[in-house]
Structure 1
């Protein structure tokens, strides 16, 4: 990251616009046109302002982080060449089988991932320290939303928008890091009975643990290390896909890793 050249007033104004877009479910124009090219610090500052505002106004706890844009196929589709990260708050975490209302999303999409949960604070980005700090790994689905008119985002747009993260659905299978070769885990995502995308763990930066290493290093560099208990999403194994309503999406994993599912409903009386 480079030091921002944006005026504090600009950062706050753009944060307010994104916050209101999420609250009112009304998309806005891309914010990249108001920032210098490559000003990731400004984009992360916008995301941090809105996270802090949600924490303060709703009394929410930060419970994790997500790494995005780790799959080369997803990077190519998004036109970017580096990962990003967002914050997971406690009201964004759901169990497998969750049914979410369509009315709380602007442009819902979904992607299947592997989640890591830490048992220790992570104060070093080296792989051995990361492996030792992992409590368990579990299958996950990320619920994605975009506060812009479309998904033609630059890296600045997606970073400012909390890496487009709107939630995470966790599976019931929990394995220690050494129990399963995550690089070789195969995933198939189904829409009802129809396959919509598939992939293998090594699609994520040549191994999901590498995404966590990137996140650990980045978090230490900005002075916010990964902490015990945090849920860490490592990035999409297959492609990100549209999340259609009133049909269950189910991600099935090999190596005894189980499955995880979620449904987007047009009915208002849904459960978390």
Structure 2
């Protein structure tokens, strides 16, 4: 089993570096083997750290919105790893050539001021420094998005980056359940939602991540930035048009532009 895990990790790493998509990997693993998928994701991350000099700055929780879960055919969250070259400050402009199938979603991010070594809610909340608006840049190394949960997890939970806004609000000063978000493509509204869409309250996603991270022996550490999951729906990130996520409760906005050369 370890051989196939190493082999799949190599295939996903090569797909990333060679810019060549691969077939879904779930058929090469025991049915619904999420533990194997997480080991694959970890191996790919370790290889990126060693070969590219990258380092970890945070983690993301995905599949926290019930509507997103229903569309993906799953009933639980997943998580991925954020490396230093995956973080950007709003407004950003990124080349379309850097992605396979770019999508985008609007979230609330949390930044830690201390390690989380206990996963009870009080300990989790005490470790949070501030919250900030964010967009997750979503992508995968497959031919399409018709992934199963194992495919998604193995490919870093489809996380390819994070864009954060300039506003930072100390944790506890606003009710995150009531924060409203609207995501626009140019002037067109694409999706909207409230923080309560994220497992009832975005802090619940962070608590799930804290518990999971402790269980696997990789607890959340001071300074990490944590994505809590999509408030609205994930949408296609089309080139050459500005995407703006606007938030209530003083969180401001996040802006991202994907650029693609246009033939003269």
Matched, 1:212 2:222: no
- The alpha carbon displacement at 1:38 in A equals 2.2
Matched, 1:195 2:189: yes
C-alpha deviations, 1:144-165, integer Å up to 9, x for none?
A: 0011111111110000000000
Partner of 1:4: none
- The alpha carbon displacement at 1:25 in A equals 2.0
Partner of 1:97: 91
Matched, 1:33 2:43: no
Q: How does 1:243-262 map to 2 (within 5 A)?
A: 243-262=237-256
* Contact in 1 for aligned 2:92/2:256 (Cα 8 Å): yes
Supply the RMSD in Å over aligned alpha carbons.
0.9
Instruction: Specify which of 20, 37, 40 is matched with residue 43 of structure 1.
Output: 37
- The alpha carbon displacement at 1:206 in A equals 0.5
SS in structure 2 at match of 1:167: strand
Instruction: Specify which of 107, 123, 131 is matched with residue 137 of structure 1.
Output: 131
> How far apart in 1 are the matches of 2:257 and 2:106?
13
Instruction: Specify which of 225, 230, 237 is matched with residue 231 of structure 1.
Output: 225
Instruction: Specify which of 66, 69, 85 is matched with residue 63 of structure 2.
Output: 69
SS in structure 1 at match of 2:192: strand
> How far apart in 2 are the matches of 1:128 and 1:172?
27
> How far apart in 2 are the matches of 1:148 and 1:80?
19
> How far apart in 2 are the matches of 1:262 and 1:12?
35
> How far apart in 1 are the matches of 2:250 and 2:14?
42
Q: How does 1:167-182 map to 2 (within 5 A)?
A: 167-182=161-176
Partner of 2:145: 151
SS in structure 2 at match of 1:45: helix
> How far apart in 1 are the matches of 2:247 and 2:19?
33
Partner of 1:3: none
* Contact in 1 for aligned 2:181/2:247 (Cα 8 Å): yes
Instruction: Specify which of 82, 86, 108 is matched with residue 114 of structure 1.
Output: 108
Partner of 1:81: 75
Q: Return the TM-score normalized by structure 2.
A: 0.98
* Contact in 1 for aligned 2:102/2:236 (Cα 8 Å): yes
C-alpha deviations, 1:89-144, integer Å up to 9, x for none?
A: 00000000110000010000000000000000000111111111001000000000
> How far apart in 2 are the matches of 1:130 and 1:176?
14
* Contact in 1 for aligned 2:26/2:32 (Cα 8 Å): no
> How far apart in 2 are the matches of 1:176 and 1:116?
10
SS in structure 2 at match of 1:36: coil
The ranges of structure 1 where at least 4 consecutive aligned residues each deviate by more than 2 angstroms after the TM superposition are none
SS in structure 2 at match of 1:67: strand
- The alpha carbon displacement at 1:267 in A equals 4.2
SS in structure 2 at match of 1:16: helix
- The alpha carbon displacement at 1:177 in A equals 1.2
SS in structure 2 at match of 1:99: strand
